[in-house]
Structure 1
Amino acid sequence: MERDVMAEAVAWAARSLPSRPSVPILAGLLIKADAKGVTMSSFDYETSAQVQVEAQVIDEGEALVSGKLLAEIARSLPNRPVDFTSDATRVELVCGSARFTLQLLPVSEYPQLPEMPTAAGVVDSDDFARAINQVVVAAGRDELLPVFTGVRLEIDNDVISLLATDRYRMALKELTWTPASSSAEGAALVPARVLSEAARSMSSGEQITVALSNAEAGEGLIGLEGSGSGGVRQLTTRLLGGEFPKVRHLMDIHPTVTVRCKTEEIIASVKRVSLVAERNSPLRMLIGDEQIALEAASGDQAQASEAVPAQVENVAGGELALTAAGFNPHYLADALNTIDSPYVHFSFTAAGKPCLVRGLDEIDGDPKGDYRHVIMLMRLPN
C-alpha cells in the first residue's frame, strides 16, 4: 500500500475505537485483503467504521491487530510503500528500512460487523456537511440525557431536516436530497458525534449515501457512505432511543423587534466583549435606533462594551418593545458562527423569551428559511 493512503485509512478507522473497551477484543482493528483492495474496520457494538482503499494484494486474508498501536506506527512511517505480511501469530509491517512486528488478536472472537442498511437516498456531500455543522452545535453533551445528544433526522420526500436541541438552544436545517423512493418519509435520532465525524471525513466525494433501517422503532441503524482521502468510507451506528422533544413550534416566533447587522462585525464584537464575561453571566445586547451595543463584565475587575451598526425595526410600533437582551455568550458565538450569510437577522419578542437567529444575503432582503437557530435569552439583573 502507499504510505499516505495506509496511514489515513488506519487513522480514520482507529478514531472510532473505544478508549475503554468493554471487551479487550474491541481494541482491535480488522484488516481484510481481497480482490477489491484492503478494508480496515473497527466496531464497538454501537458504531462501526470501515474504509476501503486501493492496494496490491498478493494473498487474500484478514488479520486483527491493536488499532491504537497501528495508528501510532502509521503516523511515524517514512514516505515509502508499506508491505503487510502475516502468519498464524503475528503481522509484519515493512516500510523502507523500518520493520514492525505486531501480535495477532483472534479474528474468530471479533464481533461480526453490521451490514449497511437499505439506502434511503443520496445527498450532496458539501451541503450535508455544512448542514451537520450548523446543527450539531445545539446538541447536548450530557450523556445522562442521551436523547439531547442526538440529531433528529426527518425525511419528507425530497427534503431532509436536521434538528437538535440541548433545551437552551435549538437549530433546524432543511435541505433537498434525492430519495430512493418517490414517497420517502421517516425519522431517526442519530448520535451527534457520529454525524460530526461524517461531516469531517466523508465530504471529499460528490455525494453521501444515507441508509436507514427500523428508524420508526428507535432501535434501528443508520448507515452513511461517502468518499474520503484515499478511499470509500462507511459509518453505521445504532439509533438513539427515547422521544425527541417537540420543539419545532418554538421556532415560529412573531417578533416585536428585529435587528439586522453584518455577520462578521457582530462575530468579532462578541468575541472581544466576551473576553471579560463572567462565568454564567449574560452578555447584554442593548438595542438602539441605528445600532446595538454589546456589554459584558467580570464583577468590578473588568468591563467591556462595543457598538455595532444595525438596522432596528420596532415591529410592534410605539415605543421600542425591547431595549435589552441577555445572551449566553458561548451560545451566541456558536449561533453566529453557523450563519453562512453576510448579514444576520435577530427576531425578539420579549426579555427572557426565545430569540430567533437567521441569515440574510442582503441587508434589506428576506431572512433565509432553510436554517433557523433559536437561543433562550437569559434574564438580566435589574
Structure 2
Amino acid sequence: MKFSVDRDVLAEAVTWTARSLSPRPPVPVLSGLLIKAENNEVSIASFDYETSAKLKIAAEVFEDGETLVSGRLLADICRSLPSAPVDFQTHDSKVYLSCGPAKFNLAAMPVSDYPELPGLPEVSGTADGAAFAQAVSQVIIAASKDDTLPILTGVRVEIEGPTMTLLATDRYRLAMRELSWDPADPQISTAALIKAKTLNEVAKTLGNAGQLKIALSDAHELVGFESGGRRTTSLLVDGDYPKIRSLFPEQTPIHAVVRTSELVEAVRRVSLVAERNTPVRLAFSQGQLALDAGTGEDAQANEVLGAQLTGDDITVAFNPVYLSEGLHAFGSDYVRFSFTTPPKPAVLSAQQEPDGDENREYRYLLMPVRLPQQ
C-alpha cells in the first residue's frame, strides 16, 4: 500500500477515528486503526466490539492495500507532523510515514485478526445536525456517570412519527428535550437507549456536518449515525429504562421567572462558599429572588435579583452544580421555575419574555435539597 495525502486531512481523520478506541481493548488488535487504500480513497476505521467509527478521505493512491496500526500512536504522530504532504506506505510488516524532514516506521498488526466491522443499519430518518447536537448537549448533563448503574448512563430516545424525545436522569435530576426530525416511515414508533458518551461524540463531531442520518436496527441492538462521509455505530444499552416522564408534575401553582444570564452569574458567585454537598438556597418572593449559601461560622454569601413570582412565596435549596449545569443548558433570555411545594421537584423551562409563554421543548426537573424546617 502506498498513498500521499495532505497532513491536516490525515491528522483530522486519524484523530476522529481514534476517539472511538477503547482505552483497555479486549484484544490487542482492537487498539489499531484499519487503513485501506483504493481508487484514490483511503478509509480509516476503528472498532471495539461495542462502538465502531469509519470515514473516507481523498488521497493520491499509488498502490492499493490495507494495514492495521496502533491508533493512538498514529494519532499522536499525525498531530505532531510538520505542515507538508504525508507519504504513507507499507512494506512487509512495517508502516512507513514521511512528512518533510520527519520520518517514522511503525509495526503493523495482522489484518487477518481484525474483526469485521458492523454495517450501518437501514436509515430510519434524518435530523438537522446542529439541532440534534444542541438537544444532546441539553440532555446528557442529567445522565448518570456511575457505571454501576449502566442503564442510567444512557439517554432514552423515544420516536413517535416526526417527533423525537431525548430523556436522561441520574435520579437527582431529569432532562427532557423534544425535537423534530424527518423519519423514513411517518408512522414510526420506537425507542432506544443509547450511551450518553456515544451521543456526546456524535454531537461534537458530526453535529456541524449538515443533515445527520440516524439508523436503528430492527433487532433493537445497534444504532448508527452518518454525516459528511463519516459514520459511527454503537450497541444499545440493554435494560428497561425507568418511566420518568410521570415525574413531571401536571399542575404547578407557583411560577417564578428570572433573567437567565443574571441568575447564572449569581449562582456562580454565591456557590463559591458552598462546600461539598452544601446547597444554594433560593427564596422567591414578590418581585425578587434572594440567593444565599454557607451557614454558621463558615463563609457565607448572598445576593438579590429581580424576579416575577406568581403564587405563594417559596424557599428551596438545590445542589449548586446541578442548578448551574441546568441553567447553562438554556439559551433563552429568561428561565421559568415551576413549583408544587418546596420538598417536591422544581421544573425549569425556557421563556423569552418575563410575561411571555413557557417553551416546553426543553424541560429540566431538579430535586431540591431538603431544608431543616421542611
Q: CA deviation at 1:21?
A: 1.4
> d(CA) in 2 for partners of 1:210 and 1:364?
38
Task: Return the match for 2:147 from 143, 146, 149.
Answer: 143
- Residue 317 of structure 1 corresponds to none
> d(CA) in 1 for partners of 2:295 and 2:169?
28
1:248 maps to a residue whose letter is: R
- Residue 67 of structure 1 corresponds to 71
| 8 Å contact kept, 1:347–1:357 | yes
Q: CA deviation at 1:143?
A: 0.7
- Residue 314 of structure 2 corresponds to 323
Unaligned regions of 5+ residues in structure 2, if any? none
> d(CA) in 1 for partners of 2:295 and 2:131?
40
| 8 Å contact kept, 1:253–1:347 | no
Q: CA deviation at 1:182?
A: 2.0
Alignment of 1:327-366 (within 5 A): 327-366=318-357
Change in Cα spacing, 1:187 to 1:88, as seen in structure 2 (3 Å) is same
> d(CA) in 2 for partners of 1:155 and 1:214?
14
Q: CA deviation at 1:281?
A: 1.8
Is 2:374 aligned against 1:373? no
Moved more, 33-42 or 66-75: 33-42
- How big is each residue's C-alpha offset from its partner over 1:340-378, in whole Å with a ceiling of 9 and x where there is no partner? 111100001112211000001111111102111100111
1:61 maps to a residue whose letter is: G
> d(CA) in 2 for partners of 1:31 and 1:156?
39
| 8 Å contact kept, 2:21–2:30 | yes
- Residue 224 of structure 2 corresponds to 223
Alignment of 1:1-382 (within 5 A): 1-35=5-39, 37-214=41-218, 216=220, 220-227=221-228, 232-297=229-294, 300-314=297-311, 320=312, 322-382=313-373
| 8 Å contact kept, 1:224–1:235 | yes
| 8 Å contact kept, 2:40–2:60 | no
> d(CA) in 2 for partners of 1:297 and 1:368?
33
- How big is each residue's C-alpha offset from its partner over 1:290-341, in whole Å with a ceiling of 9 and x where there is no partner? 0101111165231111111110111xxxxx2x52101111110011011111
Output the aligned Cα RMSD: 1.2
- How big is each residue's C-alpha offset from its partner over 1:26-83, in whole Å with a ceiling of 9 and x where there is no partner? 1111111122611111111000111211211122211100111101101100010111
- How big is each residue's C-alpha offset from its partner over 1:215-267, in whole Å with a ceiling of 9 and x where there is no partner? 55xxx10001113xxxx211100000110000101123421211101110000
> d(CA) in 2 for partners of 1:373 and 1:36?
49
Q: Normalising by the residue count of structure 2, what TM-score does the alignment of the two structures yield?
A: 0.96
Change in Cα spacing, 1:31 to 1:197, as seen in structure 2 (3 Å) is same
> d(CA) in 1 for partners of 2:236 and 2:314?
44
> d(CA) in 2 for partners of 1:178 and 1:89?
47
3-state SS of paired residue (1:246) = coil
| 8 Å contact kept, 2:284–2:307 | no
3-state SS of paired residue (1:72) = helix
Q: CA deviation at 1:155?
A: 1.1
3-state SS of paired residue (2:136) = helix
3-state SS of paired residue (1:302) = coil
> d(CA) in 2 for partners of 1:366 and 1:261?
14
> d(CA) in 1 for partners of 2:277 and 2:10?
46
Q: Normalising by the residue count of structure 1, what TM-score does the alignment of the two structures yield?
A: 0.94
3-state SS of paired residue (1:370) = strand
Among all aligned residue pairs of Structure 1 and Structure 2, give the percentage whose two residues are the same amino acid. Answer: 47
| 8 Å contact kept, 1:150–1:190 | yes
2:282 maps to a residue whose letter is: M
| 8 Å contact kept, 1:2–1:80 | yes
> d(CA) in 1 for partners of 2:277 and 2:295?
10
> d(CA) in 2 for partners of 1:253 and 1:354?
12
Unaligned regions of 5+ residues in structure 1, if any? 315-319
> d(CA) in 1 for partners of 2:10 and 2:53?
15
3-state SS of paired residue (1:374) = strand
| 8 Å contact kept, 1:9–1:40 | yes
3-state SS of paired residue (1:137) = helix
Q: CA deviation at 1:212?
A: 0.5
> d(CA) in 2 for partners of 1:124 and 1:186?
20
| 8 Å contact kept, 2:256–2:307 | yes
- How big is each residue's C-alpha offset from its partner over 1:138-185, in whole Å with a ceiling of 9 and x where there is no partner? 000111100000000111111111111111111111111111112112
